[in-house]
Amino acid sequence: GDSWGIFTFLCAALCNLPALPALNCTEELGTSQSIQKTYDLTRYLEHQLRTLAGTYLNYLGPPFNEPDFNPPRLARAERVPSATVDLDLWRGLTDNARLAANYRAYSRLLCYLRALDGQAATAELRHRLGHFCSSLQALVLSIAGVMSSLGYPLPVGPSAPPGTPVAPNDFLKKMDDFWLLKELQTWLWRSAKDFNRLKKKVPPAVVTLRLEARGF
């Protein structure tokens, strides 16, 4: 008799739990999942880019495919979003500012990569570039999802770069492509660290049920 009474009391208490805390837990869980997904995408793109960069640099030929090739950054390359910001300065930015910078940078980098996709001479390279562009587009959308879940607005203004001036010769064109891949590698490396820190700030929600005796 006593055990049946306890069971009945527990069922009644569970049925009368307020709905609002459950909704809050769902929102927190959605945010943490969105951040985890974005982190996983950056790591996947890092892995994907290692193979793509090697293939593309071999397509460009020497000296671009030589391991010790480290040219100075030309003025032409400055239109590509640079990730060479002091790490302490970068970490001092707010989460909103870092997310906005990532969103703008990958939106612009994606436009440049799509141009490479149309210029690649071999079918295999075009296929790899196309697959990478699709993954990078998913990353841009995922960053937008994280910003939305955290209540941050997307950056205002065009995300696409202005018209790209034609390189005066083939070597400078290859140099543009080299710097595009180099900056993309640095952005992905830093973004992985950004999202790893962010997911620690927003841990997965833990649902806790509290039973309150009413009227006793």
Determine the residue type at 134.
Answer: S
**Sequence-ordered list of residues with C-beta below 8 angstroms from that of 64, at least 6 positions apart, any chain:** 57, 174, 177, 178
**What is the structure's pLDDT at 121?**
75
**What is the structure's pLDDT at 20?**
34
Domain definitions of the chain by residue range:
29-201
Numbers of helices and strands, H then E, in the chain: 6, 0
Residue-wise pLDDT for 73-104, tens only, equals 776 656 778 877 788 888 889 999 999 999 99
Q: What is the mean pLDDT of each run of 10 residues along the chain (216 residues)?
A: 48 43 45 92 95 92 91 70 80 92 93 82 87 95 94 77 65 88 93 92 56 42
What is the maximum span of the chain, computed from C-alpha positions, in angstroms? 91
**What is the structure's pLDDT at 71?**
82
**What is the structure's pLDDT at 129?**
92
What is the dotted CATH code of the domain comprising 29-201?
Answer: 1.20.1250.10
